[in-house]
Structure 1
């Protein structure tokens, strides 16, 4: 068994494609296939199921993938320990849900790169469930999400406390509502735009509504949109109200495009988390990035 065979196998699993793995490693597809076949013969197991359109990892392949990742990561540790130039690019592969990727990560990455100028990032974006799935599929190493999963394979580190607010069109009707008693109850009778399922913001909003004994089925939901910017624009055009991160709504509120309401004594908070696999072996650079992110914001209760 050789390292280059394990490298080929890991790329096939992560990219779910022989051709993409070949392109990534600057090899031919027959060479990649030969490496996988050699591993299967040596271990006397089927590692991947091949079809004309997909590549699916077998249970044995999943086990080998875990070992192969650890072996390759140990190799990188050795390069770093002895000051040799690593054969791997100085890259960190991450994924973020909407709020972290659009409003938090640009700030974090910019600050981190001032200390590590040669590093570059590969960033994927989706909702919280997408990020968690990508971690479990070994497609990304570090995730940033707005919801904590109970999966025993994952570690969640809180790094930011996000405040949710209610935003409304900047119209006289809503200015009057915001000045009335029972503001929250009156606002929630208005047409409302919610996030789609899988969103951490939606789950936090639902928990808040439940705490106020407000049934989601009784809300006048006029749209479900999974893009914060589209929601803000829709609210600014008078479609209805919405519940979203204060950090994401701040710019439109400051520009006078929307009104922002923070329930007095009824603040809606949620934590944002760094997520990764418990068994994951990180390079020194990845460890440094996680430590940097976890301590960058000091306004979170540890």
Structure 2
């Protein structure tokens, strides 16, 4: 067994493609295939299920992947320990749900790259369910989400407290409502835009509405929209109100495009989480970035 064989195997698993792995490692596809065949012959075990459309790891392949990542991380640490840079690109593959991707990760990554200018990021955006899927398929090393699943293969670290608010169009009708100290229940009778299923914001908003004894089925829902920016544009143009992250809303509120309403009483908050596979073996770069994220918002 050679490290170049393990490198080929890891790239095939993460990219789910022999051709993409070959391109990434500057090798031919037959060479990548030969490396995988050699590993399977040496261990007399099938590590990959190959079809014409995709590549999937077997149970044994999952075990080999974790060992391989750990061995490659040790290789990197050896290079670092002797003052040499490993030639592999310094890149971190991450996946983020809407709020982290659009409003948290840009400032996190910008601040991180001020200290680590050579590190590059690949960001895959989707809803929280999509992010979890990317982590479990090894397409991303680190995920950022607004909800926790019950999958026991995952580990979560809270790193940011996100506050939810109600935003309305900046129109006379809504100004009069808010200036007249309308109740939360009154405001919820207005046309409302909700997020699609799979959104952490939607699930948190639903729990909050239930705690306020608001019947979700009786809301005047005018649209289900998944894209946060489209929701903001729709609210600013008078389609209706919505419940969203305060951090996501601030730019439109500060520009006078929307009005902000914060319910009295308990704050409506939820944690944003770093998520990763429990069996994941992080390399030096990934560990350093996770530590940075956990400290960045600590006051």
The TM-score bracket by the shorter chain reads: over 0.9
Deviations 1:225-260 (A, max 9, x none): 111110000011111110001111111111111111
The 10-residue stretch of structure 1 (57-66 or 231-240) with the greater mean CA deviation from structure 2: 57-66
Task: Say whether 1:249 aligns with 2:249.
Answer: yes
Seen in structure 2, the aligned counterparts of structure 1 residues 295 and 202 have a Cα distance that, compared at 3 Å, is same
Partner of 2:197: 197
Are the equivalent residues in 1 in contact too, given 2:185–2:214 (CA < 8 A)? Answer: no
- Tell me the secondary structure at the aligned position of residue 39 of structure 1: helix
Shift of 1:99: 0.9
- Tell me the secondary structure at the aligned position of residue 11 of structure 1: helix
Partner of 1:148: 148
- Tell me the secondary structure at the aligned position of residue 196 of structure 2: coil
Partner of 2:281: 281
Aligned partners of 2:20, 2:283: CA distance in 1, in Å?
24
Task: Say whether 1:23 aligns with 2:29.
Answer: no
Shift of 1:126: 1.1
Partner of 1:131: 131
Partner of 1:100: 100
Partner of 2:234: 234
Shift of 1:182: 4.6
The 10-residue stretch of structure 1 (254-263 or 50-59) with the greater mean CA deviation from structure 2: 50-59
Partner of 1:65: 65
Shift of 1:181: 4.9
Partner of 2:223: 223
Aligned partners of 1:26, 1:35: CA distance in 2, in Å?
14
Deviations 1:37-73 (A, max 9, x none): 1112222222222222222222222222122222212
Aligned partners of 2:182, 2:172: CA distance in 1, in Å?
17
Aligned partners of 2:264, 2:212: CA distance in 1, in Å?
14
- Tell me the secondary structure at the aligned position of residue 94 of structure 2: strand
Aligned partners of 1:30, 1:283: CA distance in 2, in Å?
28
The 10-residue stretch of structure 1 (83-92 or 157-166) with the greater mean CA deviation from structure 2: 83-92
Partner of 2:165: 165
Shift of 1:270: 0.9
Deviations 1:77-125 (A, max 9, x none): 2222222221322112111111111111111111111111111111111
Query: Please, what TM-score do these two structures have when normalized by structure 1?
Result: 0.94
Query: Please, what TM-score do these two structures have when normalized by structure 2?
Result: 0.95
- Tell me the secondary structure at the aligned position of residue 260 of structure 1: strand
Partner of 2:119: 119
Task: Say whether 1:267 aligns with 2:267.
Answer: yes
Gapped regions of structure 2 (runs ≥ 5)? none
